[in-house]
Structure 1
Amino acid sequence: MKILIANTLYHPDSVGGAEISTRLLAEGLVKAGMEVCVVCATGAGVDRISRLNGVKVYHLRSVNVYWPHKPKKHSSVVKLIWHAIDLHNVIMSRKLKNIIARERPDIVNTSNLSCLSIDIWRVARNANVPIVHTARDYYLMCPTSTMFSGAKPCERQCGMCSLYAGPKRAASASVDVAVGVSRFVLQKHVDNGFFPSAMRTEVISNCYVPLDDAVPMKRASKYESGPVRLGVLGRVSPEKGLEVLFEQLLADHSLEWTLAIGGKGDAEYLGELKENYADPRVEFLGQVKPGEFLEAIDILIVPSKWNEPFGRVTVEAYSHGVPVVAANTGGIPEVIEPGSNLLFDMEQPHTLIDKLRDAVKLLQDTSLHDRLRQYAEGFSVAAMVDAYIDVYQTALTKPVLKNVA
């Protein structure tokens, strides 16, 4: 079976979890005996082909008014023009058509299509190639891909987003199998009219790969005493809910704690956090090695205000035997280890402290760390690859059309 995967970015260009998941899927499919090529966009240089771990990668130079992954502010008018071009990018569409004609894949698996254009669905359909789409975020529904505005998640599409999503919604009728990285993100799309002709919808969780920057140690089976070491890991940005965490921790006097924050963010926003929540118990570490960071804390906190589609850092923490206290937002509840029951209600932020107390008690459980590591094994690369091969087999049952335009 030959699979063509289309995603906005691919290694070595990476800004988040979508790129990690795409690479793990592509390389996992190769190990499973599939032939795989990837199409991605790049903001520099010229169109080129590279090969990495058995994967053939087409890097297509983006053709639009600006490259969105370069930090720079643009006016609303320029952004509107960018999105209009991105919707049906004629030049990128021509490039994609040529690649599909050259590679002749059995399946086209799309995910984030910013900079590539949803025109790939039309191109694949006209070439009689079945289409599997993976919803990794809210790109099809929201210009920012986050559905987060005014410091809170959007319960529904606003008028502007609905207008933006209209052509994408119509084009999604070409998708034969729709996959979501969580039930939450998949249902959000289905409820808003996406993938109306899909022969199957399926949830396939993202996987994690053991972090190679630290060998997981056999943690002490019992939390001894003193301040509990709390940690937050990932991009530092408003939707991640750090303000909620700070306000609850600083208002509470029942817990002894220290807090380490690992990750980069906008300099201005970081400055505001450090000024507004100055406390000697809080340390901003900047970019860290995730494995080493997780080995240095007792409890990870994921206080996301936005509806995280999945939340890979939770599984990464479990792979190190670290319990996770997380908000009940988006797809996070689907990832939380059920035996720990450490979800707090973002609508009632004081429950965060309650769950932290529960987590500290759980640290006394001699079986906790091994149980969490075992739970993480359920999110393996092999399990994800097997699930995708299964949906590809479903897509291949699509009837062949005749006289395709």
Structure 2
Amino acid sequence: MKILIVNTLYYPDKVGGAEVSTQLLAEGLVRAGMEVSVACASGTGFDSVTALNGVRVYRMRNANLYWPHQPKRHSRVAKLLWHAIDVHNVIMSRKLKKIIAREKPDVVHTSNLACLSVDMWRVARNAGVPIVHTARDYYLICPATTMFSDAEPCKRQCGSCALYSAPKRAASSRVEVAVGVSRFVLQKHLESGYFPEATRTAVINNCYVPSVETTPFKRTRRYEGGPVRLGVLGRVARDKGSEVVLEQLSADRTLDWTLAFGGSGDPDYIASLRAKYRDPRVEFLGHVKAGDFLNSIDILIVPSIWHEPFGRVIVEAYSYGLPVVGANRGGIPEVIEPRSNLVFDMGRPETLIGKIAEAIELLKTPCVHDHLRRHADTFSPESMVNAYLDVYRSALEGALTRSVEPVAAAIAPKARMD
């Protein structure tokens, strides 16, 4: 099977988990015997073709007002124009048309499409190639990709987002199979009217590959009583729930704890947190190595206020044998190890304290670290690759059915009128 994967970025260009998952999928498909090519955007240089670990990579120079993956501010007008072009970027579509003509893929698998345009779907459908799309965030629904506004996640599309996304929603009717990295993110798209003609929908979680630090597993810290060391790993920001954790722990008088934030953020925001919560038990470490940080704490807290589509950091923590307490937002509850059930209600943030207490008791359980590490193993690249191969076969079957039905209708005898 020949597969063309289309994603905004590809290694070594990387912003987040989407790019990691895309590379793991592409190379995993190659190991499974598939012929794989990738089309992605680039903010520098010219259009180019390279080979990387058995994957042919087409890098298409960005054809919009600016390259959005650079730390530079743009005016509101420039952003509006950028998004207008991004919906129907004819130049990028023409480039993909040439790639499809050259590669002749059996399936086109799209993912993040910022800088590339949903017009890619029209090109693939016109070429007679079935489309599988993976929703990794809310790009199709919200220009900010987060569906988060005024310190709260959006319950539904606002008027401006609905207007902005109408062409994308219409274009999504060309998708044969729709995939979500969590049930939550898939359902959010379906409820908003996306993928109305899809012959199948599926949930395929992102995968995780343990680092050399965790293979073989070596944990240098084990909880043996006393202050429990809590940690929050990732960007320090309001939508990430940084202040929720500080507020609840500062008000509690039942737990013995220390808290470390591993990650950077807006300097002014972090300064405001330091000033508001003056507590020697709280550390802001800035940028850290994930392995070192996870090996230094007892419990990870994932307190996101916004609806995280998946939550890769949770799986990473499990690979270190760490209990994880997560908010009931987005796809987070789907990743939390089910037997631990360490999910707190962000609508009642005081429930965080009770779940931390449960996690402390869990730490006293024999073999808890091994059990949690086995849960991380369920998010393997092999499982993800096999799931996508099954989805690709469904897309081919669905496309075949679509092509046969019109022919059958055309040759069917006309009914007699009595």
Q: Specify if TM > 0.5.
A: yes
**Max radius of gyration: which structure?**
2
> How far is 1:235 from its partner?
2.3
Return the letter of the residue paired with 1:341. N
Partner of 1:11: 11
Give me the whole-angstrom Cα distance separating, in 2, the residues matched to 1:40 and 1:271.
Answer: 38
The alpha carbon displacement at 1:46 in A equals 1.5
1:104 equivalent in structure 2:
104
> 1:58 offset after TM fit, Å?
1.2
Amino acid at match of 2:33: G
SS in 2 for 1:259: strand
- Name whichever of 92-101 and 286-295 sits farther off: 286-295
| Alignment map for 1:266-345 (pairs within 5 Å) | 266-345=266-345
State the alpha-carbon separation in 2 of the partners of residues 213 and 318 from structure 1: 13
Contact (CA 8 Å) 1:216, 1:320: kept in 2 or not?
no
Q: Which residue type is aligned with residue 114 of structure 1?
A: A
Q: 1:216 to 1:266 in 2, by over 3 A?
A: farther
Hey, what's the Cα distance between the residues in 1 that align with 2:279 and 2:76?
38
Distance 2:43 2:87 in 1: 18
Deviations 1:280-329 (A, max 9, x none): 22222222221221111100000000001110111111111100000000
Asked if 1 retains the 8 angstrom alpha-carbon contact of 2:214 and 2:319, the reply is no
- Does the CA-based 8 Å contact 2:231-2:301 persist in structure 1? yes
Matched residue, 1:231: 231
User: Match of 1:71?
Assistant: 71
Measured after TM superposition, the shift of residue 16 of structure 1 is: 1.0
| Structure 2: distance between partners of 1:265 and 1:187 | 30
The match for 1:42 is 42
Once the two structures are TM-superposed, the CA of residue 341 in structure 1 deviates from its matched residue by 1.3
Query: Residue 174 of structure 2 aligns with which residue?
Result: 174
Partner of residue 83, structure 2? 83
- Number of residue equivalences: 403
Cα deviations across residues 48-75 of structure 1 (Å, max 9, x unaligned)? 2222211111111111111111112222
**RMSD over aligned Cα atoms:** 1.7
**Who is 1:375 aligned against?**
375
For residues 11 and 233 of structure 2, the distance between their equivalents in structure 1, rounded to whole angstroms, comes to 21
- CA change 1:328–1:114 in 2 (3 A) is same
Q: C-alpha distance in 1, partners of 2:221/2:81?
A: 57
Q: In the TM superposition, what is the alpha-carbon distance from 1:253 to its structure 2 partner?
A: 2.0
**How far is the alpha carbon of 1:39 from its aligned partner?**
1.0
Percent identity between the two aligned chains: 67
Alpha-carbon distance in 1 for matches of 2:268, 2:127: 48
Partner amino acid for 1:255?
A: L
State whether residues 229 and 299 of structure 1, in contact with CA within 8 Å, keep that contact through their aligned partners in structure 2. Answer: yes
List runs of 5+ in structure 2 lacking aligned partners. Answer: 407-418
SS of the aligned residue for 2:378 comes to helix
Counterpart check, 1:142 vs 2:142: yes
Change in 2 beyond 3 A, CA 1:141/1:103: same
Equivalent residue, structure 1, for 2:187: 187
SS in 2 for 1:340: coil
The normalised TM-score by structure 2 is 0.93
10-19 or 133-142, larger mean C-alpha shift: 10-19
Unpaired runs of at least 5, structure 1: none
TM superposition score normalised by structure 1: 0.96
SS at the partner of 1:326?
A: strand
Counterparts in 2 of 1:211 and 1:278: CA distance versus 1, 3 Å: farther
